[in-house]
Amino acid sequence: MRRSDWLRVAVIMGAAQCSAAPVDADEEPMFRWRADIELAQPGALVALPLSVDAYAHTLQPELRDLRVLDARGERVAFALQAPRTDETRTTERAREAVLYALPARPARGDEWPSPIEITVAGDQIGVKRLGGPPTEVADAPGWLIDLGERKPGAPPHTLRLLWSGPAEFTTSFDFETSDDLRSWRWHGGGSVMALASATGALTQPNLPLPDGAARFLRLVWTHAGARPTLTGATVLSAQRETLAVVPEELTFTPAPADPQAPRALVFDLGGALPVTQLDLHFTGMIAPVRLEGRGDIEAPWRALGEHVFSRIERDAEVKTSPLPLRATLRQVRVVPDPRAPKLDAATTNLAVHASLATLLFATQGEPPFTLYAGSSTAAPGALPEATLIPGGEARRVPLGAARLGAWNEVEEVARRAEEERRFAVQWPLMLWTALLLGVGGLGFMVWQLTRKPP
């Protein structure tokens, strides 16, 4: 072997030893892969959903070898957010309120006469307008407003007043609420206004309703000047619904057949994914199988259990029987029961629900930002979510949005990995060559000694 070859071996061995040494906390390890982060919607905190590709390019479980760096190569703080199992959706609802002009203000100490009366029959409340001369709307000192029956789970939060004029006014009011038109609870005051401008009318028609507001509201004007002529009112309420979040379904086709299990189908998920459900798409009605899995392609198979997958058409829909599961899997092996027919690899797919994480990062530093992955020596890079977003405000902080570009190899790291691979292949040959040369040299020395005369 030439001297230059031995020198190269020594350099590669030194590089390998350096790469295997512990990484200093302030020194970035070498990452094999990088992908540009494309900001779709700016924000102080940005959400980047991670796809299967991100899991495929990591070398450590639970995405511990991820890094976000800015344009200067400085670290950017980030956290990994597990997918939510539920989502709260708020729907705005509106319904018309009923208005009754109040009669003249009573003398001090007297009860304010009501223009309506209510009747209660079981759970039903009836409202009836009382007789007598109607109050002139323009002269009405205030209004009695029926907000309507409250719907469960949708409390009213705002009363929006409608009026016909005047074009400009500013006035104030007091209001109180009651369920029976006898006991009233005072809630304070408010104001409404309308101002004309070159760009259009500026109005403030909203009256925020207190929590637990009763059905009837009595609004009394407190300003003697210009005030609106009310023509209606709208009650706004928020209906909150909690919906279960179903993870995106990922579909995989079989990998090449496993010689150790010729009747089995092996599915490669592309990365070690946090799987929550497995389902089998196949031709036929039932498929009794044994399931095996592993988190790494070099790891031994472990049993996941037995299950009978079924596909039954009912009411023009296909009903299936998926298997709930909690496991981190890179590969899944489906072994048919010996009493069942072999699954057809051409028509069988594996449908996987996986709880893929979302990467949240703070847009600090100099953009653009880059995601790095693929280091077996990197220390965990993600902060706890509560550290990145303190105070449990994760669900209320407005988030920007980003997407990940294509993954590319870091040339320097790829070159070093290739050299290490070649060294690993050549090293046994070099070792045996050195050993044989040493033995041959030793034999030559013995032969030389035996030739010398005594």
| pLDDT confidence of residue 118 | 81
pTM given for the model: 0.56
Q: What average pLDDT score do residues 436-447 get?
A: 74
pLDDT of residue 144: 93
pLDDT of residue 23: 36
pLDDT digits (tens, 9 = 90+) for 348-376: 999 999 999 999 999 989 999 999 999 98
Which segments within 182-301 are labelled E, that is strand? 185-195, 202-204, 206-208, 216-221, 230-244, 249-252, 265-281, 286-294
Find, among 328, 347, 346, 332, the residue nearest to 264 by Cα.
332
**Residue 243: pLDDT band with limits 50, 70, 90:** low
Which residues have a Cβ under 8 Å from the Cβ of 376 and sit 6 or more positions away? 59, 60, 65
For 313-337, how does the pLDDT look when each residue is reduced to its tens digit (9 = 90+)? 776 677 889 999 999 999 999 999 9
Q: For strand 302-314 and strand 317-320, is the pairing parallel, antiparallel, or unpaired?
A: antiparallel
**Which region among 21-30, 92-101, 173-182, 192-201 has the lowest average model confidence (pLDDT)?**
21-30
pLDDT value of position 393: 54
pLDDT band at 244 (very low <50, low <70, confident <90, very high): low
pLDDT band at 224 (very low <50, low <70, confident <90, very high): low
Instruction: Look over the chain and give the mean of its residue pLDDT values, rounded to a whole number.
Output: 82
In the structure, what pLDDT confidence band is assigned to residue 238 with cuts at 50, 70 and 90? confident
Eight-state DSSP code of residue 437: H
pLDDT greater than 70 at residue 246: no
User: Residue 20: pLDDT above 60?
Assistant: no
What does the pLDDT average to over 213-237? Answer: 88
Is the pLDDT score of 18 beyond 50? no
Which amino acid does the sequence have at 421? R
Using CA atoms in the order 59, 63, 65, 70, what is the torsion angle rounded to 10 degrees?
A: 130
DSSP 134: P
* 3-state class (DSSP) for residue 85: coil
Q: Give percent of the chain above pLDDT 90.
A: 47
Domains of the chain: 31-82+358-409 (no CATH), 91-243 (2.60.120), 249-354 (2.60.120.260)
Provide the β-strand partners of residue 39.
Answer: 402
Across 432-447, average pLDDT: 74
- 228 versus 18: the higher-pLDDT residue is 228
Quick check: helix, strand or coil at residue 56? helix
pLDDT bracket for residue 25 (50, 70, 90): very low
Least confident residue range of 19-28, 126-135, 218-227, 232-241: 19-28
First-to-last alpha carbon distance for the chain, in angstroms, is 36
Burial 161-185 (b: 16+ CB within 10 A, else e): bebeeeeebebebebbbbeebeebe
